[in-house]
């Protein structure tokens, strides 16, 4: 008997866009998708400051793409601001023109402009919402048009996958990041809406809340340095990217509209908010006094809201 035929990589023949892929988490995701067989369009605006400051540069995207090609993969770099509607259109078109079609969209690009809500300027609010939330919408919009047109031409579903990047900042709160937390919450809403709208075309949309040590999280994970003893670094971005590869694959066809927390050796599936308690009015509607009579004792009996340290919220220990 001859040798069994080698199996094709799970993403062979598929084309992916990864935004913000010049560094950190996006770079790890782009490399993983390429390792799994995908053609990758590496997008990054290339500004050196994590607050979106500095001159745009093609170097980060080019470096990631060159690394993928050196490892035997196929990659094309794209310098562009995904928060700009026309540049997002051009990004999707580049994937189609270069590789024939788009199959996977990983939205990762983002910036930080942290400030307490009473100190935050309008520009600090608008800029973060623009890059994160509008950036996710722009690329999703043009990818959705592409998949809808392909599905209509094919007369049935196509392979389309969206993986969006949210954050536990929206789940647990982040006092100095009202703009970032709001944007990440908005991304979850965008994801679930998109999941419902595109399911009939064969497209899934899911969001991840990654815990990874990158430029964006260097303050959050201060004190959680890479282990020097060779033990698993649970905050390495490379441990997030396999989940992105799975969600992008045909194997995840039944996963849609989900929010997953991921780091190291853990994946947690978040539930949608559930009702914690319910009170019925004694008559047709509540009065102020009746609400006071039921809600005040209820909240008085619950533990007070607390602001947890990063280690407590994230379940991490100092190494």
Three-state helix/strand/coil letters over 162-231: EEEECCHHHHHCCCCCHHHHHHHHHHHHHHHHHHHHHHHHCEEEEEEEECCCCHHHCCCCCCCCCCCCCC
The CA-atom distances, in angstroms, between 218 and each of 24, 47, 61, 225, 235 are 11, 17, 21, 10, 11
Per-position b or e across 44-72, b if 16+ CB within 10 A of its CB = bbbbeebebeeeeebebbbbbbebbeeee
pLDDT of residue 117: 93
C-beta separation of 136 from 190 below 8 A? yes
Whether residue 183 contacts residue 122, with contact meaning beta carbons closer than 8 Å, is answered with no
pLDDT, averaged per 10 consecutive residues of the chain (319 residues), comes to: 73 97 94 98 81 77 97 97 97 98 96 91 96 97 98 97 92 86 96 98 96 56 55 73 97 97 88 91 95 95 57 41
Q: Residue written as tokens 């599905």?
A: 151
Supply the Cα-derived Rg of the chain in whole angstroms. 22
pLDDT at 219: 53
Catalytic (active site) residue 167 = yes
Please indicate whether residue 180 is annotated as part of the active site.
yes
Catalytic residue among 99, 134, 174, 184: 184
25-45-49-190 Cα dihedral, nearest 10 degrees: -60
pLDDT of residue 56: 73
CA 30 to chain centre: 13
Predicted TM-score (pTM) of this structure: 0.88
Nearest in space to 127 (alpha carbons), one of 44, 26, 50: 50
Report how far residue 187's alpha carbon sits from residue 105's, in angstroms, rounded to the nearest whole number. 14
Q: Alpha-carbon distance 235 to 310, whole Å?
A: 13
The answer to whether the beta carbons of residues 82 and 48 sit under 8 Å apart is no
Task: Give dist(CA 28, CA 11) in Å, integer.
Answer: 16
Query: Do residues 112 and 216 touch, judged by C-beta distance below 8 A?
Result: yes
Given 99, 134, 167, 249, the catalytic residue: 167
| Best CA proximity match to 57, nearest among 45, 75, 65 | 45
Contact (Cβ atoms closer than 8 angstroms) between residue 49 and residue 126: no
User: 87 is written with which tokens?
Assistant: 């540049």
Distance of alpha carbon 75 from alpha carbon 39, whole angstroms: 6
State the alpha helices, DSSP H only, in the chain: 24-35, 59-70, 85-99, 122-129, 135-154, 168-172, 178-198, 241-247, 288-301, 310-314
Active-site residue, from 166, 174, 180, 201:
180
Closest CA relative to residue 52, chosen from 131, 170, 138, 134: 131
């Amino acid at each position: 008997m001859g040798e069994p035929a080698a199996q094709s990589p799970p993403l062979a023949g598929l084309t992916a866009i990864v935004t913000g892929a010049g560094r950190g988490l996006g770079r790890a995701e782009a490399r993983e998708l390429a390792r799994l067989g995908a053609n990758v369009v590496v997008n990054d605006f290339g500004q050196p400051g994590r607050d979106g400051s500095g001159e745009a540069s093609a170097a980060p995207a080019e470096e990631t793409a060159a690394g993928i090609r050196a490892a035997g993969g196929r990659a094309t770099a794209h310098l562009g601001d995904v928060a700009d509607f026309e540049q997002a259109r051009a990004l999707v078109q580049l994937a189609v023109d270069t590789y024939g079609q788009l199959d996977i969209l990983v939205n990762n690009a983002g910036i930080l402009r942290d400030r307490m809500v009473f100190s935050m300027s309008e520009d600090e609010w608008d800029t973060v919402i623009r890059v994160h939330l509008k950036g996710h919408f722009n690329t999703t919009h043009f990818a959705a048009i592409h998949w809808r047109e392909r599905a209509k031409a094919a007369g049935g579903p196509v392979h389309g996958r969206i993986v969006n990047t949210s954050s536990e900042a929206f789940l647990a709160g982040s006092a100095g990041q009202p703009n970032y937390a709001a944007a990440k919450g908005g991304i979850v809403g965008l994801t679930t809406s998109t999941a419902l709208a595109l399911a009939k075309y064969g497209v899934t949309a899911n969001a991840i809340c990654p815990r990874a040590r990158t430029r964006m999280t260097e303050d959050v994970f201060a004190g959680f340095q890479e282990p020097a003893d060779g033990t698993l670094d649970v905050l390495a971005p490379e441990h997030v990217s396999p989940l992105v590869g799975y969600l992008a694959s045909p194997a995840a066809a039944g996963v849609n509209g989900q929010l997953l927390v991921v780091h190291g050796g853990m994946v947690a599936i978040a539930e949608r908010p559930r009702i914690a308690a319910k009170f019925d009015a004694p008559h047709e509607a509540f009065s102020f006094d009746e609400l006071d009579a039921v809600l005040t004792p209820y909240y008085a009996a619950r533990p007070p809201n607390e602001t947890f340290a990063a280690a407590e919220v994230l379940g991490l220990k100092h190494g």
